[in-house]
């Protein structure tokens, strides 16, 4: 049986009342009617209530002792995790031609406190992204005659290839599904036009001078933001540490007809090589080293042709261009596809934290084990700077995980980051603040929680420096990663597990427990496949462990929950540092096998038809669902367990209002996926769908009706096609629109 803290006294309120009433004849025999409502009975109830309250507090003693023991293990509750993401900041003044420097930790106050993670130099330009997009099939048919004429007009070597100058991330908006600038473009490049506020030639010239270094000729830093689209991994694709993508940022010099470029020096790359959302800080060259080629075909027939920047046919937009940048993956990357959800200039990373300045949290008492609250919870340990007053003045003390491990006289303290409490030593283990000496926090950062997971466009109220022009903030993507602080119930479940595995992923239970506790990742289910190599779909390979992850999701609406690439990479990074050196680790998503089900029932009451059929449909979905409380056992469908139509019939029969259940029919996809095929039945009429050890069912089609026989067919499925284009000499074209 489970170990439970004992109750020191298990009597309830009713027990106490009954006990007091039984004592009435012995102590007050003249009181013969102790019914409810009598004034004396009211006093009895009052004292029973007081006694019940005392017993409740007494019964908390074993619980307090258990929690005190858990605290002695040295494991604190986890603090809240802050949300974060990308923002774009634009100077909202059409006459401004100078940049603004926003210091690190500049505040965004609404609706939740956010801060810039690094200094941001906001230049007087906006970044507009373009692709040299391949025409689709309809456009290609309409441009066929034009392309034939272009072959005679352009004598450059190579086959002319038409492209359409296509703006992406229009008005700073993101494209969550992603825009594939490698596959969809003819040159595999992302182009960013740096635009002045208006097409005024004088303003464009002043802005170009600012980007070129201004009067003091100091090279200017420009911050570019990139957010790769969140992609779903392939079936059983093994996720490991992603290698950085080699790439280069280049700026057009404007010389030689406009097809010459110089690479930009990268000061900092927060994208890790284009593998995660972040910013890249590049150093722009001097004013003489960049320029803009003409977009007027009357002035230069080769405008936009070949390696030149995309041709812009809108005169108002063309007149605002100050410089052309392009992101070009190097050939060593061998990319055939790369999707971006957003890209832009003057971008910064923000985090859901608030910086607090100097404040006094108390004065020393000279006693051992002093502790002081910081006035806030979920404190970032790396940001906390604490000083204690000594004879020579305020002196910084050092933060350590445990003051009990410190030596005599060491000026150290420990921090409970979740509660926001600092604790000092005993004098024997770590020094103690002397009586009356001030204890001050110089700086700390605190914050986090799910309230920071705000949708796009929610952040407002950027704090600009004094004297700066008006700034406008654009939040193209949602803020993600915010998690509330750990609750006591979660800590009670986690801390004993830490004692078992010690933070090392050795056994199957260790790996499962650690994967479920991956910080910042909402995971509902983890399966550990020992000796299974996903790329080859083979088992019994020594030294290999595959971890299957399914994210949390409410409800049973299709499709089944799938972990995206970002989630799998987070779990891999968390487990990789904790696995044995000789273990080959893979993190994968489940392989779902689409299945179809038809069912028919007879009703007890025909007037309740729709309600009963809805319940039957929900029971079937929940029976095949991969997460609790779904599945035949309430823990989600077991991995690799075969589907049995008889078990589905049993689940349907439990639905209230169902008189009888017709034999259920199971269906599988055809080899080409164009139709549904019924599952063959055995001699007893039972139909089963066999699943491999790494597979789960996904209810793709369902038909439920009233009758004595289930439907023998399902509607056919549909296949999606894909197209491709050819390379050659890039020639801009304008498709006709109607």
d(Cα 564, Cα 566) in Å, to the nearest integer? 6
Q: Are strands 658-661 and 729-732 parallel, antiparallel or unpaired?
A: unpaired
pLDDT digits 0-9 by tens, 16-55: 888 888 888 888 888 877 888 788 888 888 888 888 888 7
pLDDT digits 0-9 by tens, 637-678: 999 899 998 999 999 999 999 999 998 899 988 777 677 888
Q: Are strands 665-669 and 658-661 parallel, antiparallel or unpaired?
A: unpaired
How is residue 96 written in tokens?
Answer: 């401004």
Which pLDDT belongs to residue 54? 81
**363 contacts 438 by C-beta, under 8 angstroms:** yes
**307 contacts 259 by C-beta, under 8 angstroms:** yes
The candidate with the shortest Cα–Cα distance to 288, out of 217, 198, 370, 216, is 217
**100 contacts 464 by C-beta, under 8 angstroms:** yes
Which pLDDT belongs to residue 72? 57
Sheet strands side by side (includes 179-180): 179-180, 339-345, 221-228, 278-283, 265-269
3-state secondary structure 194-231: EECCCCCHHHHHHHHHHHCCCCCCCCCEEEEEEEECCC
For residue 34, what are the CA distances in angstroms to 17, 30, 87, 165? 11, 11, 73, 93
Q: Please give the full DSSP string across 490-522, using - where no structure is assigned.
A: HHHHHHHHHHHHTT---SHHHHHHHHHT-TT--
d(Cα 492, Cα 511) in Å, to the nearest integer? 19
Q: Are strands 126-133 and 695-706 parallel, antiparallel or unpaired?
A: unpaired
Which pLDDT belongs to residue 418? 87
Please list, residue by residue across 413-423, b when 16 or more beta carbons sit within 10 angstroms of its beta carbon and e when fewer do. bbbbbbbbbbb
Local structure of 244: helix, strand or coil: coil
**284 contacts 222 by C-beta, under 8 angstroms:** yes
d(Cα 94, Cα 196) in Å, to the nearest integer? 8
Is the omega angle on the peptide bond into residue 640 within 30 degrees of 0, that is, cis? no
The helix (run of H) or strand (run of E) holding residue 548 is strand 544-551
Which pLDDT belongs to residue 405? 82
The candidate with the shortest Cα–Cα distance to 126, out of 363, 465, 473, 396, is 473
d(Cα 98, Cα 469) in Å, to the nearest integer? 9
The candidate with the shortest Cα–Cα distance to 516, out of 469, 571, 478, 461, is 571
699: β partners: 595
**322 contacts 332 by C-beta, under 8 angstroms:** no
Q: Which CATH class is domain 488-588?
A: alpha beta
**163 contacts 289 by C-beta, under 8 angstroms:** no
360 φ, ψ to 5°? -95, 130
Residue 298 burial (10 A CB sphere; 0-12, 13-18, 19+): exposed
Which pLDDT belongs to residue 90? 93
Q: Which residue stretches of the chain have pLDDT < 50?
A: 1-3, 716-727, 737-738
Residue 174 burial (10 A CB sphere; 0-12, 13-18, 19+): buried
Contacts of the segment 355-358: beta carbons below 8 A, 24+ positions apart: 355/105, 355/107, 355/115, 355/383, 355/443, 355/444, 355/445, 356/441, 356/443, 356/444, 356/445, 356/446, 357/442, 357/443, 358/440, 358/441, 358/442, 358/443
Q: What pTM was computed for the model?
A: 0.72
Local structure of 121: helix, strand or coil: strand
Sheet strands side by side (includes 247-252): 261-263, 247-252, 321-329, 190-195, 126-133, 160-168, 729-732
């Amino acid at each position: 049986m489970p170990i439970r803290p004992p109750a020191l006294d298990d009597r309830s309120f009713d027990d106490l009342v009954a006990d007091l009433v039984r004592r009435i004849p012995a102590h007050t025999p003249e009181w013969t009617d102790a019914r409810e409502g009598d004034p004396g009975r009211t006093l009895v109830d009052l004292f029973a209530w007081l006694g019940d309250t005392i017993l409740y507090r007494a019964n908390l003693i074993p619980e307090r002792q258990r929690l005190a023991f858990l605290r002695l293990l040295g494991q604190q509750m986890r603090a809240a995790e802050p949300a974060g993401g990308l923002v774009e900041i634009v100077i909202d003044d059409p006459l401004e031609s100078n940049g603004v420097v926003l210091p690190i930790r500049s505040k965004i106050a609404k609706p939740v406190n956010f801060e810039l993670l690094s200094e941001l130099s906001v230049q007087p330009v906006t970044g507009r992204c373009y692709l040299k997009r391949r025409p689709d099939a309809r456009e290609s048919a309409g441009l066929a005659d034009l392309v034939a004429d272009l072959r005679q007009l352009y004598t450059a070597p190579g086959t002319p290839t038409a492209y359409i100058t296509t703006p992406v991330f229009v008005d700073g908006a993101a494209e969550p599904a992603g825009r594939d600038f490698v596959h969809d473009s003819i040159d595999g490049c992302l182009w960013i036009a740096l635009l002045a506020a208006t097409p005024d030639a004088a303003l464009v010239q002043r802005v170009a001078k600012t980007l070129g270094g201004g009067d003091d000729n100091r090279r200017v830093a420009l911050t570019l933001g990139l957010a790769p689209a969140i992609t779903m991994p392939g079936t059983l694709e093994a996720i490991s540490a992603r290698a950085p993508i080699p790439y280069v940022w280049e700026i057009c010099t404007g010389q030689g007809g406009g097809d010459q470029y110089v690479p930009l020096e990268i000061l900092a790359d927060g994208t890790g090589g284009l593998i995660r959302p972040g910013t890249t800080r590049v150093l722009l060259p001097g004013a003489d080293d960049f320029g803009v080629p003409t977009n007027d075909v009357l002035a230069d027939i080769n405008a936009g042709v070949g390696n030149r920047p995309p041709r812009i046919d809108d005169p108002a937009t063309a007149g605002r261009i100050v410089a052309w940048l392009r992101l070009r993956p190097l050939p060593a990357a061998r990319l055939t596809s790369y999707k971006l959800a957003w890209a832009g200039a003057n971008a910064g990373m923000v985090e859901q934290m608030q910086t607090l300045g100097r404040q006094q949290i108390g004065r020393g008492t000279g006693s051992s084990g002093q502790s002081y609250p910081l006035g806030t919870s979920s404190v970032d340990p790396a940001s906390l700077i604490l000083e204690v007053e000594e004879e020579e003045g305020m002196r910084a003390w050092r933060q350590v995980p445990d003051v009990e491990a410190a030596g005599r006289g060491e000026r150290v303290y420990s921090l409970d980051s979740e509660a926001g409490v600092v604790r000092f030593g005993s004098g024997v283990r770590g020094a103690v603040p002397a009586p009356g000496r001030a204890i001050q926090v110089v700086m700390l950062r605190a914050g986090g929680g799910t309230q920071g997971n705000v949708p796009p466009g929610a952040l407002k109220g950027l704090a600009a420096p004094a004297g700066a022009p008006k700034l406008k903030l654009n939040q193209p993507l949602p803020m993600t990663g915010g998690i509330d602080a750990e609750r006591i119930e979660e800590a009670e479940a986690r801390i004993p597990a830490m004692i078992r595995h010690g933070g090392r992923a050795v056994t199957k239970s260790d790996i499962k427990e650690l994967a479920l506790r991956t910080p910042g990742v909402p995971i509902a289910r983890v399966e550990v496949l020992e000796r299974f190599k996903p790329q080859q779909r083979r088992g019994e390979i020594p030294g290999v462990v595959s971890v299957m992850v399914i994210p949390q999701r409410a409800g049973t609406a299709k499709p089944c929950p799938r972990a995206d690439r970002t989630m799998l990479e987070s779990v891999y990074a968390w487990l990789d540092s904790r696995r044995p050196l000789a273990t080959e680790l893979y993190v994968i998503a489940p392989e779902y096998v689409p299945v179809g089900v038809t069912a028919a029932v007879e009703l007890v009451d025909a007037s309740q038809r729709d309600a009963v059929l809805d319940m039957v449909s929900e029971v079937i979905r929940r029976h095949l669902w991969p997460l609790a409380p779904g599945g035949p056992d309430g823990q989600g469908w077991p991995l690799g367990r075969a589907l049995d139509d008889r078990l589905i019939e049993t689940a349907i029969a439990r639905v209230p209002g169902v008189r009888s259940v017709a034999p259920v029919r199971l269906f599988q996809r055809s080899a080409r996926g164009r139709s549904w095929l019924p599952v063959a039945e055995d001699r007893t009429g039972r139909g089963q769908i066999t699943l491999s050890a790494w597979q789960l069912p996904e209810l793709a089609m369902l038909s439920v009706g009233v009758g004595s026989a289930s439907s023998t067919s399902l509607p056919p499925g549909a296949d999606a096609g894909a197209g491709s284009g050819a390379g050659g000499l890039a020639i801009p074209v304008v498709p006709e629109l109607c």
